[in-house]
Amino acid sequence: MGMSITAIARNRFGLGSRPDDGALADPKAWLTTQFSAFDPRPAIITALPDAAAMTVQYRENLRQLRQLGIGGIPRQPDDPEPPKGAEAQAMADAQQKARREAFRAAYAGQVRARLALALEGPAPFAERLVHFWSNHFAISADKLATATMGGPLEFEAIRPNISGRFADLLLAVTRHPGMMFYLDQAQSVGPGSLLAEVARSRNAPRQPGLNENLAREILELHTLGAGNYSQADVAGLARALTGWSVGGFVQRRIGLEAPPGQFVFQPAWHEPGRVTVAGKSYGQEGEAQGRAILADLALHPHTARHIATKLATHFVADTPPPALVERLAGVYLANGGALMPVYQALIAAPEAWATPLPKFKTPWEWAVSAMRALGLKDAAGNARIAIMLNELGQPVWRPGSPAGWPDAASRWAAPDALLRRVEVAGRLAALAGGADPRALAGSALPGLLSPATASAIARAESPAEGTALLLVSPEFLRR
């Protein structure tokens, strides 16, 4: 039984199997003590361009597109006339190619850093929680504004806050330029704000407006959950968040200057007056109003249940036991939204250990666990990892919607998806060289290897074939 618990701890709570992970003696203690070894800002991250640099890059790209007359971006009065003719088209093509290459290089560097931490970091459980919260607060790199913001949002807002209070995590994510750009918050202006009044008095051709995207996703995805809020709540929160913006991006005649990529509150853009959200009235002025609402939403019983359900779904079962969800929600509320007590309750829960392999691995989980099992640490420096994850159907930070990637077998266990894993397994096995697949199976799945899988590996015609069979075995595909 001890070996089975070890395997469960490695596969379900960590990011796959590794013989030297220290989980053998006391798997539950191994999980809990990882947070003391977790580094939220390791050197591999601090060496990358941050959100400020990505904001400057995005702003420069918008300027080029505008001046070239590309993408339907309105020209400014002081912009030069866009070039015309074949020479102009060649210039535009060259600039677009350079822009795409810059975005691709920045994105690839962020993916390699994330993968290196998953493969080599001393706290795989903490790294899994980083990925869990990154998916909870999902943005998608498919959008120009956030093409290179997935990494900065995860590295700057999520990593430093995974073991603190959910309220702090929520605030950090909401204020990050990645989330603001993705959900069009940076230019949201109240209809009764000073800026709106000035624009109306001048009959400006483009009137500033209120945007409800961020408010809606905060309520539905980040806090209360679907069905637990009204359109009036969305409108109230959206008005409270007007003026929350990003420095160095939005250029308006009435506004405060701030460094690029830094959160800035713009008083002249804020909608004055009281708002009501989730049955409570808020009369604070300025930024304090939005902060007060977020703080209350973080401690709402619906939020506690929503987060408990998602954690239990991720770590225990696609349909988690209701009693476990209620216990986790109770721990959350009893501890004022502190996350560590919830993690500890999850680790201690009998339901978390009752079934050895209840969860089907997502492509990211499977790829990382396969590389860890094979000792392919050097692959972290290989740009092909992003291509491999694209082939498997889960490109990093590109879920295509703020709902993030699904966390259920129904999304990942289709026949065509399994065929892609078989193809990738063959490539990974080739990288592993002549490793003995029988020894790998014992270290990767201690206590969980079925006789059928062991027999198939033993009958393989080559070590590479045996290793590939291990990677696509029913036991390895699940956690």
Q: How confident is the model at residue 15 (pLDDT cuts 50, 70, 90)?
A: confident
**pLDDT at position 420 over 90:** yes
Q: At a CB cut-off of 8 Å and minimum separation 6, what does 95 contact?
A: 64, 68
Q: How confident is the model at residue 20 (pLDDT cuts 50, 70, 90)?
A: low
Please state the rounded mean pLDDT for residues 51-69: 82
CA 448 to each of CA 230, 301, 355: distance values in angstroms, whole numbers, following the listed order: 47, 38, 11
Going by C-alpha positions, the residue among 122, 127, 14, 115 that lies closest to residue 380 is 115
Q: Which two tokens stand for residue 229?
A: 């809020």
Domain ranges of the chain: 43-181, 363-477
Could you give the percent of the chain with pLDDT greater than 90? 74
**pLDDT at position 77 over 90:** no
Please state the rounded mean pLDDT for residues 66-89: 67
DSSP category for residue 478: B
Going by C-alpha positions, the residue among 230, 219, 236, 242 that lies closest to residue 275 is 236
Q: How confident is the model at residue 379 (pLDDT cuts 50, 70, 90)?
A: low
pLDDT of residue 428: 92
In this structure, of 124-128, 244-248, 363-367, 430-434, the range with the lowest mean pLDDT score is 430-434
Contact between residue 242 and residue 293 where contact means Cβ atoms under 8 Å apart: no
Contact between residue 191 and residue 198 where contact means Cβ atoms under 8 Å apart: no
More confident residue, 352 or 82: 352
> Which H/E stretch holds residue 117?
helix 85-120
Residue whose tokens read 């970091």: 121
Going by C-alpha positions, the residue among 194, 293, 193, 177 that lies closest to residue 234 is 293
**pLDDT at position 373 over 70:** yes
Q: Which two tokens stand for residue 55?
A: 């904001």
Phi (first) and psi of residue 360, to 5 degrees: -85, 130
pLDDT digits (tens, 9 = 90+) for 242-258: 999 999 876 667 889 89
Alpha-carbon dihedral sign for residues 80, 85, 88, 93: positive
pLDDT digits (tens, 9 = 90+) for 147-166: 999 999 999 999 999 999 99
Most confident of 114-123, 300-309, 428-437: 300-309
Please state the rounded mean pLDDT for residues 46-74: 81
Other beta carbons less than 10 A from residue 335's beta carbon? 15
Contact between residue 362 and residue 412 where contact means Cβ atoms under 8 Å apart: yes
Model's pTM, two decimal places?
0.93
CA 124 to each of CA 313, 365, 370, 428: distance values in angstroms, whole numbers, following the listed order: 19, 11, 14, 21
pLDDT of residue 306: 98
Please state the rounded mean pLDDT for residues 430-442: 89
Contact between residue 159 and residue 40 where contact means Cβ atoms under 8 Å apart: yes
DSSP category for residue 188: -
Q: At a CB cut-off of 8 Å and minimum separation 6, what does 4 contact?
A: 356, 446, 447, 448
pLDDT digits (tens, 9 = 90+) for 315-365: 999 999 999 999 999 999 999 999 999 999 999 999 999 888 999 999 999
In this structure, of 219-233, 264-278, 444-458, the range with the lowest mean pLDDT score is 444-458
More confident residue, 466 or 448: 466
Which amino acid, one-letter code, is at 203? N
Phi (first) and psi of residue 108, to 5 degrees: -60, -40
pLDDT of residue 273: 98
Q: How confident is the model at residue 457 (pLDDT cuts 50, 70, 90)?
A: very high
DSSP category for residue 263: E
